[in-house]
Amino acid sequence: MAKLKFAFYWAATCGGCEEAVVDINEKILDVVNLADIVFWPVALDFKYSHIKAMEDKSIDVCFFNGAIRNEENEQMACLLRQKTRVMVAFGACACFGGIPGLANFTNAEAIFKRVYQETPSTHNPEAVVPQEDFETEEGRLNLPRFYDTVKRLRDVIEVEYFLPGCPPPAELILAAVTAIAENKLPPVGATIAGAKTLCDECDREKDKKVVTEFKRPYEIIPDTRKCLLEQGIICAGPATRAGCGQRCINANMGCRGCFGPPEGVIDQGAALLSALSSICEIKDESELKKIKPLILDPAGLVYRFSLPDSLLKSKRSVISG
């Protein structure tokens, strides 16, 4: 059998997903035995022309990490789609928008104003901001357009599989690669992770879901055996997909939700807000201060990784584009 052809690409992302690929350590040798990596800009030198020159559908699998933040991200997604048979949205940003997706509470104009003018360390009296077109002596320069909203990969191209996580854990990456090698892939559209919630597979002792008060992580040293939520630590487990190997839970930290919504849940944030607020023991509106961590920034808390994946997608005044 001819060797498979893999491609890795990063769009609006921090680079952690690329780290996750390297974190499979010596197993990367198995991957290289199995497949030729034909495109991986973070590790090797590639140009757009190289990928444009490839035949259509000649890449077997493309692992695409990062959200769609600007025109270049979208163009690359479309180009790779054209060249690839199986597209995998790799990591929380490609699957749900991820942390960059939180920018959907603002827009391009406000972001540029903040970054190029308002930050305390910025000195920019002439208010110079990047332009899409710029004429210089050497010639005309072009920059990709910066969109008003962050999109998921599936908003711009068709995606076959989803590999969530921030970043996806090594075991799941290997499981996906093994499934590809053995031609045992799940039905198209599947998420390569658990189907139920993180709570469902969590080993901690669970008793009664009643919280007298939510606490910030620095206010408490949590018991390592008991449910974090029952101890008043905010945990996204009730509204987050299982399959991560409980990395945060094992480190005595509440889940932050990077695996996105479980099967059948439309809106992770709405489900999490419902779960968290319902269990706080309040019988009088004057006691609302008990849920203060929820009142401070509820949207940022419950949609930490999934704002572009939510029903509302962005702040209402933000024009999509």
Partner 1 sequence: MNNFEPKIVGFLCNWCSYRGADLAGTSRLTYAPNLRVIRVMCSGRIEPLFVIKAFKEGADGVLICGCHPGDCHYSEGNYKVMRRVPPLKKMLEQFGIEPERLRVEWVSAAEGERFAEIVNDFTRKISELGPIK
**Site residues, partner 1 (CB under 8 A):** 105, 266-267, 269-271, 273-274, 276-278, 280, 282-285, 288, 291, 294-295, 297-300, 302, 311-312, 314-318
Write the CA distances from 21 to 51, 86, 169, integer angstroms: 21, 18, 9
Q: How far is the CB of 168 from partner 1 (least distance, A)?
A: 27
Alpha helices in the chain, H assignment, sequence order: 16-22, 27-34, 48-53, 71-83, 92-96, 108-113, 170-181, 198-201, 247-250, 268-278, 292-296, 298-302
* Structure token digits, residue 33: 């035995």
Q: How far is the CB of 267 from partner 1 (least distance, A)?
A: 6
Judged by beta carbon, residue 141 or residue 312, the one nearer partner 1 is 312
- Of the pair 174, 280, the CB lying nearest partner 1 is at 280
Considering only CA atoms, which of 246, 263, 204, 247 is closest in space to residue 229? 204
Do residues 309 and 260 lie in contact, with contact meaning Cβ atoms separated by under 8 Å?
A: yes
Tell me if residue 321 falls in helix, strand or coil: coil
CB of 185 to partner 1, least distance (A): 31
Q: In angstroms, how far is CA 132 from the centroid of its own chain?
A: 27
The minimum distance between CB 13 and partner 1, in angstroms, equals 24
To partner 1, the closest distance from the beta carbon of 162 in angstroms equals 21
Extract the tokens encoding 279.
Answer: 């269990």
Smaller CB separation from partner 1, 55 or 285: 285
Phi, psi of 148 (to 5 degrees): -75, -35
In the complex with partner 1, which residue's Cβ is closer, 197 or 314? 314
Compare residues 178 and 277 and give the one whose CB is closer to partner 1. Answer: 277
